[in-house]
A and B are shown apart, each in its own frame.
Chain A
Amino acid sequence: MTDAALDVGVMVNGAPVRRRVEPRRSLVDFLREDLELSGSHVGCEHGVCGACTVRVDGALVRGCLMLAVQADGCRVETIEGLAATGEILDLQQAFAELNALQCGFCTPAMLLTAQEALRRDPGADRARIRQALSGNYCRCTGYHAIVEAVHRVARARAGEPP
């Protein structure tokens, strides 16, 4: 820890957190290393793979492309928070039932991104779901099962038969 370290206060999954962090610490490393919230994953570290996606003040962001010090005063939500509140329970169940995950590395961010996709576009068809998930890489499934799972949830939330 160098002299450049700063005090940062963040509301993480509803709980206030205060830590001293170096400016070069990314938000996702802060979550994983300092707060031991390891559900947000670190893949490419330059914004391409999407595995580090979290929500900051309600907006979907890349946790590797935001510095932890920039989140000072912000509300951060991770997969741990979304899973605990039950907000994405239907997506989680659909992923499990349709084998939309294998190794699970991309899954937390895929769930957050799917949730945002359906919030913005509740009637999304498979093509629009595929487009909305295009910034999240999965190296196991070939995406088909993921798209099916998200589409099933979209229909269910709209009250349509499966």
Chain B
Amino acid sequence: MDAMKPAPFTYHRPGSLSEVFDLLDHHGGDARILAGGQSLVPALNMRLATPTAVIDINRIPGLDGIRLTTEGLHLGALARQDDVERSPLVREHAPLLAQALPNVGHVAIRTRGTIGGSVALGDPAAELPACLVALGATVRATSRRGARAIPAGEFFRGIYTTALAPDEVLTEVVVPRPGPDARAAFDELARRQGDFALVALAAACRLSDGVMLEPRLVFAGVAGTPVRATRAEAALAGRRPEAPVLEEAARAVAGDLDPPSDVQASGPLRRHLAAVLLRRVAARLGTGS
């Protein structure tokens, strides 16, 4: 038996971004970029994706760094999720990511899965996009036309749809350096460890004398993109994360979200779970989580 699941394609392993741009020019919309492959390869195996060319960017040097500058924490597009999760720099300067990443699949997925791949895919249930929106991160993309920076809050446009142009390659995300009063917390509810989240919540704020300032509550799994719960944020702003405040925010979140029903969970169940998560996660904002 000759086992071949994907449709045939040509395989390209460019050594530089410039070569990637050449390949994208040549193949146009028939090419797909292969980073960690943890979403693309299943799509190839099931022939949901049938590109004629696969452009493997894994050997392009300089795209997998995790480094700190005055600007913030830079996570290269090819930084593996497992490396980011365990990075001391990430634990110190973006602890929200270190909390969220253990929920992304399993170890054998995260050793290959990349930051850039997850962000560029824009899966509505993915953890990283919600975290980047909560942290006010920036997505950097490069094309032959030059480089540009896109705020994470404007990057995710719909289900598997982002602000990336067809000729652009995501090169890194930059998470701003948190101040000493920054707090962040993440949690999600899924059927089993490692499954896609039914609902996930990434939360961040500043905490001053026990009072939450500029809270950002970003849900995943409830719409085509990460969703900021602005009514619930308003219910938390300027207040302490105490039970009556959390209850008010949990009621407010129902007005922020209109989650879809699918085989995993109904819309009303997701809305209920969002309120459950909100109480849990917002309470942790007050404790330094």
Contact = CB atoms under 8 A, between A and B. Distances in A.
Interface of A: 2, 4, 6, 22-26, 29, 32-33, 42, 45-47, 50, 53, 59-62, 64-67, 69-70, 113, 116-117, 120, 131-132, 134-135
Contact of A135 (B1, B37, B41, B108): B108
Contact of B10 (A4, A47, A113): A4
B3 to A, nearest CB: 4
B111 A60 contact: yes
A72 to B, nearest CB: 8
B144 interface: no
B8 A24 contact: yes
A120 B192 CA distance: 21
Interface of B: 1-11, 13, 34, 37-38, 41-42, 44-46, 54, 56, 58, 82, 105-109, 111-112, 192-194
Given A47-B41, A134-B194, A59 B11 contact: no
Given A65-B37, A65-B42, A50 B106 contact: yes
B11 A4 contact: yes
A53 B45 CA distance: 16
Contacts of A131: 193
Given A50-B106, A61-B111, A4 B46 contact: no
Nearest to A113: B108
A24 B5 contact: yes
A23 B41 CA distance: 12
Given A29-B3, A61-B112, A65-B38, A23 B45 contact: no
Contacts of A53: 108
Contacts of B42: 45-47, 65
A116 B37 contact: no
B6 to A, nearest CB: 4
A79 B34 CA distance: 27
B108 A64 contact: no
Given A47-B41, A61-B108, A62-B112, A4 B5 contact: no
B285 to A, nearest CB: 25
- The residue in B13, B58, B108, B192 that gathers the most chain A C-beta atoms within 10 A of its C-beta is B108
A161 to B, nearest CB: 29
Contact of A60 (B10, B58, B107, B193): B107
A8 B34 CA distance: 18
A69 B56 CA distance: 10
Nearest to A33: B3
Contact of B193 (A29, A46, A134): A134
A3 B21 CA distance: 24
Contacts of A24: 4-9, 44
Nearest to B44: A24
Contacts of A25: 3-4
- The residue in B6, B11, B58 that gathers the most chain A C-beta atoms within 10 A of its C-beta is B11
A147 to B, nearest CB: 13
Contacts of A45: 5, 42, 45-46
Given A24-B44, A33-B2, A46-B45, A135 B105 contact: yes
